[in-house]
C-alpha cells in the first residue's frame, strides 16, 4: 500500500523524467546532426530543417519551467507537511533526479542551439538599439 501511495505522489516526477529523457535523447541526436553541418551563421542553424532548432529550444524551455515547478513542489512538500523519514528521503531523491535532468537540459540545449539563439537575440538587440 505504501509503494502505491509513493508512486501516486511521485507520478508527475516520474512522467516528467520519462518524457524529458526521451526528449534529451532526441535533442542529442539533433545536436550531432547540427554539429555535422557547416552553417554560415546562427541564422542558418536556426532555419535548418524547418526551424527545428527553435522548436527544440521552446520545448527545452517548457521542460525547464516544468522541472523548476516540480522542484518547488518537492521542497514545498518537505517544508509544509509532516513527513516521515521515508517520505523525506523519497522527496529528496526526486528533487535531485529532477535537478539532474534540468542540468542535462541546459547542457544539451547549450550546444549549439542556445548559442545560436543568444547570438540572434544579441544581433536583434544591437539592431534595435541602433535605430
Instruction: For 51-76, write each residue's pLDDT tens digit.
Output: 999 999 999 999 999 999 999 988 88
User: Mean per-residue pLDDT for 75-88?
Assistant: 83
Is-contact 68 95, C-beta < 8 A?
no
Q: What is the pTM of this model?
A: 0.86
As a whole number of angstroms, the distance between CA 46 and CA 54 comes to 6
- Strand extents, DSSP E, 17-114: none
Amino acid at each position: 500500500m505504501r509503494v502505491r501511495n509513493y508512486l501516486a505522489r511521485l507520478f508527475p516526477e516520474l512522467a516528467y523524467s520519462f518524457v524529458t529523457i526521451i526528449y534529451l535523447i532526441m535533442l542529442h541526436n539533433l545536436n550531432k546532426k547540427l554539429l555535422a553541418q557547416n552553417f554560415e551563421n546562427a541564422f542558418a542553424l536556426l532555419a535548418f530543417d524547418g526551424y527545428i532548432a527553435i522548436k527544440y529550444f521552446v520545448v527545452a524551455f517548457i521542460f525547464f519551467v516544468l522541472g523548476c515547478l516540480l522542484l518547488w513542489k518537492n521542497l514545498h512538500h518537505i517544508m509544509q507537511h509532516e513527513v516521515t523519514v521515508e517520505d523525506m528521503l523519497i522527496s529528496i531523491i526526486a528533487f535531485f533526479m529532477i535537478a539532474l535532468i534540468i542540468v542535462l537540459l541546459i547542457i544539451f540545449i547549450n550546444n549549439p542551439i542556445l548559442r545560436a539563439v543568444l547570438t540572434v537575440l544579441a544581433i536583434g538587440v544591437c539592431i534595435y538599439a541602433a535605430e
